[in-house]
Amino acid sequence: MIKTEICKLSDEELITLVVKNHPRAMSHIIDRYKGMVFTLSFRILKNQLDAEEAAQDTFIKAFKAINTFRFDCKFSTWLYRICYNHAVSKARVYKPIQVDVDTKFDLPVDTPNALDGLSAKDRSKYLNKAMEMLESEESALLTLYYVDGESIDDISAITNLSESNVKVKLHRGRKKLYTYLSILLKEEVSMLL
């Protein structure tokens, strides 16, 4: 099948081909979701090698169990659930930097505005650092919610958390992200001065 034709296929059509062991459909599913699966694994495991291994395992598990996918939810939700559960079970004890989110910092600048003044590369660097400082679960939830645009309902299905719990953790994650960004920017400014 011509590459451009397979690109146009929906997840459901690709999965029908994957069930028939169609290798091109499999590789296209991997290409379509590898970024998000790897990012989600990385947010939980905080380590590139472990994250890549977990992402590979996720796809292998998913293809082995593809016959059990009943199309009763989005394929991405089903895949991310496998990824999340696998990464969480693989995660080693991680102790994030403890910062009291209610602490008032003497911030030199307004954090979002300060970040907007940076290049995309630097902004990505600071955001990634701040995301790595978050707890695995909060980081994963923010990634699912803001990067992939998953609904609260879908995140609840992926993580097996109640919807209210997801909302609370997202809110807490946002606050912490803001705090960590502020700390990182403050450090950067103090280094420059």
Binding site residues, another protein, CB under 8 A: 1, 5, 17, 20-24, 26-27, 30-31, 34-36, 38-39, 42, 51-52, 55-56, 59-60, 63, 111-112, 115, 120, 123-124, 127-128, 131, 142-143, 145-147, 149-153, 167-168, 170-171, 174-175, 177-178, 182
Nearer to another protein, 64 or 70 (CB): 64
Q: Which residues are within 8 A (CB) of 76 and not within 5 positions of it... i.e. 6 or more apart?
A: 11, 33, 36, 148, 150
Decide: 169 and 161 in contact? Cβ < 8 Å: yes
Nearer to another protein, 84 or 145 (CB): 145
Closest approach of another protein to the CB of residue 77, in Å: 14
Nearer to another protein, 54 or 81 (CB): 54
Q: Which residues are within 8 A (CB) of 82 and not within 5 positions of it... i.e. 6 or more apart?
A: 58, 61, 62, 65
Nearer to another protein, 3 or 70 (CB): 3
Cα→Cα distances 69→16, 21, 54, 75, 83, Å: 10, 15, 20, 8, 15
Q: Which residue has the tokens 């099948």?
A: 1
Closest approach of another protein to the CB of residue 178, in Å: 4
Spatial distance between the Cα atoms of 50 and 86, rounded to a whole number of angstroms: 11
Closest approach of another protein to the CB of residue 104, in Å: 12
**Whose CA is closest to 171, among 152, 148, 190, 186?**
152
Closest approach of another protein to the CB of residue 88, in Å: 18
